[in-house]
Amino acid sequence: MPDISVTTSNHNNALVIQGLCKHFVGLRALDGVSLTLSRGEILGLIGPNGSGKTTLINVVTGLLPATSGHVFVDGLEITNKKPYQIAHAGLARTFQTIRLFRELTVLENVEVAAVSFGLSRLQARKRALEVLEEIGIVRWAEMRAGALPYGLERRVEVARALATQPKFLFLDEPAAGLNEEESEELLQTLMSIPERKNLGMLIVEHDMHLIMRLCHRLHVLNYGKTIGEGAPEEVRRIPAVVQAYLGKSAAGG
């Protein structure tokens, strides 16, 4: 197994991305993106479709190799490591497309994630029940995942990621397809997780009402480059962000 113990001196308790680039033939999907995510923080990654948001998640979590740049978790370099190594270094993620085992129960779906990180079946069941209780869906523990309403499927995906006890959690459009009530329930679920679990959360989402209420900071991409970052109220007034993504109404103009 390749070593993941390369260290840096000043990146403890943070996910640090430095100058990350991903080039496809004729396309720079990521062009020198740098950002930092601390424990207990919620960072929103926003931008127009095709701006590089999901590509960034895929490169950081090892599904795609970086062309150049570096990624560190608590001072350990994980750039271009295997996805399982990156997961064991403390990164968990959800996907735009739900990937539940539809014939298993909700509880079994979350147990599988915990078992994959070395827990016994008994330990995994205990952790799974704790996570389901924390995010408010333990009442559906014995329901087959394929029979769940769509909004609950999204929350089971989050529960599976949390069952691995990550240091940093990436959520790729967790509110996609949710109605207003489901989106509000998701917001209330996510809001307390980073402080309670001592993890950093990066969320990609187009629901700007949710993003503005949930996130401590925003990082905005367009054509693979950073065009703005800062507190939500600051970012919504950056001219380049307004022009590329938010529009005048979101900026209050």
pLDDT at 238 over 70: yes
DSSP H helices in 13-80: 53-60
In whole angstroms, what is the distance from residue 100 CA to residue 146 CA?
8
Q: Where are the beta strands (DSSP E) in the chain?
A: 14-24, 27-38, 42-46, 68-73, 76-77, 91-93, 168-172, 200-204, 217-222, 225-230
Q: What is the mean pLDDT of residues 237-245?
A: 89
Q: What is the pLDDT of residue 1?
A: 34
pLDDT at residue 3, as a whole number: 41
pLDDT digits (tens, 9 = 90+) for 140-152: 999 999 999 988 9
Cα-Cα-Cα-Cα dihedral of 54, 60, 61, 67, to 10°?
Answer: 90
Q: Is the pTM of this model over 0.85?
A: yes
- pLDDT band with cut points at 50, 70 and 90 for residue 66: very high
Flag whether pLDDT at 19 surpasses 80.
Answer: yes
Dist. CA 239–CA 245, nearest whole Å: 10
Sheet holding 14-24, edge to edge: 27-38, 14-24, 68-73, 76-77
Query: Which pLDDT score, from 0 to 100, does residue 7 have?
Result: 41
Other Cβ atoms less than 10 A from the Cβ of 9: the count is: 6
Does 101 have pLDDT greater than 50?
yes
> For the segment 151-171, what is each residue's pLDDT rounded down to a tens digit?
899 999 999 999 999 999 999
